[in-house]
Structure 1
Amino acid sequence: MKSDLIIRVLRQYEIRQPDCVTPISTGRGFSGANLWKIEVGSDLYCLKQWTQGMPKAKTRDLITTVLPQISSRGLDLACPIESVEGGLLIRIAGRIWDLSRWINGSPVVDTAVSENQLQSAMEWLASYHNLAGEVCSSQGFSPSLEYRMELTRKLHENTLVKLANYPYEGIDPELVQLFVGFASKQLGNFSVALKMAASQLYPLLPVIADLWSDHVFFVQDRVSGVIDFGAMKMDTPCLDLARLLGCYQTHLDSAISKGLEYYHALRPVSEAQRQLIELYDRAYVTLAGVQWLIWLGPEKRVFSDMSRVNNRLKRIARRISESNS
C-alpha cells in the first residue's frame, strides 16, 4: 500500500500529519480488510480500508446511524469518526475507508476468559442491545436462521458428499472428515428444529452478527472496546449471544450458562430465547466446519494467512469434541 494514498485518506479528517503509520494486519484478516495504527502525538487511531464492495448498503446504513448514537451514550466501541465533509465512511480510490479511535487492550481468544471478564463482556453486550434497540427495532423473520436453514438444505442434498472428497490444500485431512462426519450425524434432528425456528417472527434490532471473541478487547478484567461492525444487520440479539458465548465456551465449559446470568441482570432473557441461543450454538458447532470447507473447496476463496484459518478450524474441532464427550 502506497503511503501517499494513506496520507490522502487521512487528509479527509481533522488531524495533522501522522507521526507514525503501522500496518496492523494488512491483507491478513478473514475479510481481506487492511488496517493501520495511526499515531498523532498522544492520540491513536485505527484506519481501515474495507474489502472491495464492502460494507454492503444496509450495513453501511446501520454503521452510520446506529454506532454514533451508541458511542455518544458512553459505550466503548470502534465508531467511525466524522470526516471534514461530515461522512463516517469515505470512498477513495474505489474503496471505502473509515477512521476510528484506537481500542486499547487485547482479546481473550486462546485461553479461558476469567469470570470478571465474562461478566464485563455480557454487561457490554446487554448495554449494546438495549441502546441499539432504542435506535432501531422491528419485527420479522431472522435472516441468520434462514441462511442456516438454506445451508442445511444444500448439505442434505449432495454438498456433504462433495465436501468429503474435495482435494483441499493447507488443512488437516482429519479435520475434513471430522467436520463432514459430525454434520452428517447431526443434520437430521437439527434441521427440523432449525426449520421451526426460522418460521417464527422475532423482535429484531441492529446486531453485530460477527461478534467473535477476537473482537472484544479487555484491559485487565474490563471490556475496553469492541471492534468490527462489518456484518451488522437487523436480526435477533440471540445471534450475538450465541456467537460470543460459543467462542468463550471453547475454553470455559460454563461460559454460556454463566454468561447468560450476567446478561440477564441488565436485559432479561426468556426461556424461548435461551432455547434459541442453544439452537444457534448447535448450528455453529454443526455447520461452521463445513461452511469453511465450502469456502476453501468449491468456492475457492483465498485466505492470505492459512495459519489463522487453521487455528479457527481447530477451535471448531474442539467444540465438536466437547459435544461428543
Structure 2
Amino acid sequence: MRLPETIRNSIEERLFPREPTGPAAAWAPASGGLSRASVWRVSRGGDAYAVRWWGAGVDPEHLTWIINTLRAAKSSGLAFVAAPIAWGVEWREGAVGHWEAAPWMPGEPVAAGDALEAEISVAAEGLARFHHQLASGDGQLANGAGSIPPASSPFAERFDRVASLPTNPPISRELAGAWPELEPIARRLPAAAVAAASALRPFATLPCDRQPVHGDARPEHFLVERGVLAGLVDFGAMRRDSVLADVARLAGEWAAGDPERRDYPERRDYVVGCYETASGQHLDRRAVAALDLAGAVLSAANWLRWLGESGVGAPSDSELVRGRLRSIASRLGKP
C-alpha cells in the first residue's frame, strides 16, 4: 500500500528536523512480516526509521500499552529493543489509522533452521534479558491491556482453541491450486491438533505466571551484528502470556523441519538450554514442546482461514507466505 502524501508529510515532520533545503525523505517498502500492518524504511541523511502503519482496527489502548512497555524497556538499558520514538493518529479514506516509528535497527536476522548455534544462543540470551526486564516493570506498565483473563491460564486457553478446531478443515480445489502448500497442512492438521491437545492437557489446570512477552519471537525478529544482539523488532503481537510461549516459538522455528526427525527435539532443547543459562530458570521441556506444537497447529488453522476468506489472490509478499506455510507443515509432522 502507499500512504497519501499528506500523511507521509505529517510523519516526516515528526521524524526529521525542518530544513529549508536538503534531500527529501526516502520511503522504501520493508517487509511488514505477515501481519496486516505495512512497514517502510524511511530515511533522510544519516537517519533511518521503521515506520509501521496499523490502519483501522487496531486497539488504541493495547497499542499504547505496547509503546509504553517498550519505551520503558529501552530506557532501562536494553539498547536492542526497537522502541517507538514517535507515533500518531491520521485519517485515511474516512477511517482512523495509527502509526508508529522506531529507529531502524542494525544487524541481520537470525535465519530459522540455518542459523549458527552462536547466533541462536545470542537470540535466546537477549530474549531472557527482555523477559526479565519486562517482568520487573510489569506492575507499572501491564495494567491489563492485551492480557489473558486472570481466570484462564495460557495453557488452558490454547487447549480450548486447539480442541475446538474442525476435524476436517475445508480447502477448496481452487484454493489448493493457488496455494499447494496448504494441502499438506490440511492433511496433517487433524492428527496434529489431537496430539497438541493431549500434550497441553496436563498443564491446562496448573497455575502459570503471565507477564509481557514479545508474542511472535521468531528467529528473524532477532538481528545480530558481530556476534551481538543488535535489534529485537516487530512487536505487533505483544501481550501478557507465559514466557514459555516466546521460548517455544523461538526454539521450534529455529529447529525448523519435521518434528519426527531425530534431531528436532535436540535442536529445540538446545535453544531452551541457552535461555535457561541466561535466565537462571529451569524450564519444563514438555511444556515448551506442547506450546511449540500448539503454536504450529493454531498457525496452520489461521492460515487456512485467512487464505480461505481472502480467496486465491496472492498477499503482498506471497513468497514469504509460501515459506511460512512450508515451515508450518513441517512442524505439524506427518500423520
Whether these two folds match at TM > 0.5 is yes
Corresponding position: 1:255 with 2:267: yes
Write the deviation string for residues 127-172 of structure 1: whole angstroms up to 9, x where unpaired: 00000000105994566544533332332xxx34242556415210
Share of identical aligned residues, percent?
Answer: 23
Q: Which residue of 2 aligns with 1:148?
A: 158
Matched, 1:31 2:38: no
Are positions 1:170 and 2:170 aligned together? no
The total of aligned residue pairs comes to 309
Report the AA paired with residue 81 of structure 1.
Answer: I
With over 3 angstroms needed to count, the CA separation of the structure-2 counterparts of 1:45 and 1:25, relative to structure 1, is: closer
In the alignment, the residues of structure 2 paired with residue 288 and residue 160 of structure 1 have an alpha-carbon distance, to the nearest angstrom, of 16
Match of 1:200 in 2: 206
Say yes or no: does 1:215 pair with 2:221. Answer: yes
Q: Distance in 2 between matches of 1:233 and 1:151?
A: 17
The equivalences for 1:1-325 within 5 A come to 1-13=3-15, 15-16=17-18, 19-25=24-30, 29-54=33-58, 56-75=59-78, 76-82=80-86, 89-93=87-91, 94-109=96-111, 112-136=114-138, 140=150, 144-155=154-165, 159-164=166-171, 167-168=174-175, 170-172=178-180, 175-250=181-256, 253=264, 254-271=266-283, 273-298=284-309, 303-320=315-332, 323-324=333-334
Measure how far apart 1:96 and its partner are. Answer: 0.7
| CA distance in 1 between partners of 2:251 and 2:90 (Å) | 37
2:146 is aligned to none
Q: What is aligned with 1:86?
A: none
Q: Quick one: which amino acid aligns to residue 267 of structure 1?
A: S
Gapped regions of structure 2 (runs ≥ 5): 143-148, 258-262
In structure 1, the gaps of 5 or more residues are 83-88
Distance (Å, rounded) in 1 between the aligned partners of 2:42 and 2:310: 35
* Aligned-partner residue type, residue 35 of structure 1: V
Q: Does the aligned pair in 2 maintain the 1:160–1:180 contact within 8 Å?
A: no
Q: Deviations over 1:57-77 (max 9, x none)?
A: 453243132111110122112
The root-mean-square deviation of aligned C-alpha atoms, in Å, is 2.8
After TM superposition, give the deviation of residue 211 of structure 1 in Å.
Answer: 1.7
What CA distance in whole angstroms lies between the structure 2 residues aligned with 1:183 and 1:50? 31
Contact conserved, 1:217 with 1:226, CA < 8 A, in 2? yes
SS in 2 for 1:209: coil
Q: SS of the counterpart of 1:260?
A: helix
Provide the rounded CA distance (Å) in 2 between the counterparts of 1:39 and 1:192. 50
* Contact 1:63/1:232 (8 A) holds in 2: yes
How far apart, in 2, do the equivalents of 1:98 and 1:301 lie? 31
Task: Tell me, yes or no, if the aligned pair for 2:188 and 2:329 is still in contact at 8 Å.
Answer: no
Q: Which secondary structure does the structure 2 equivalent of 1:96 belong to?
A: strand
* Distance in 2 separating the partners of 1:59 and 1:209: 13
> How far has the Cα of 1:108 moved from its partner?
2.6
Instruction: Report the 3-state secondary structure (helix = DSSP H, G, I; strand = E; otherwise coil) of the residue aligned with 2:127.
Output: helix
Using the TM superposition, give the Cα deviation of residue 98 of structure 1 relative to its aligned residue in structure 2, in angstroms: 1.1
SS of residue paired to 2:30: coil
| C-alpha distance in 1 between matches for 2:109 and 2:151 | 32
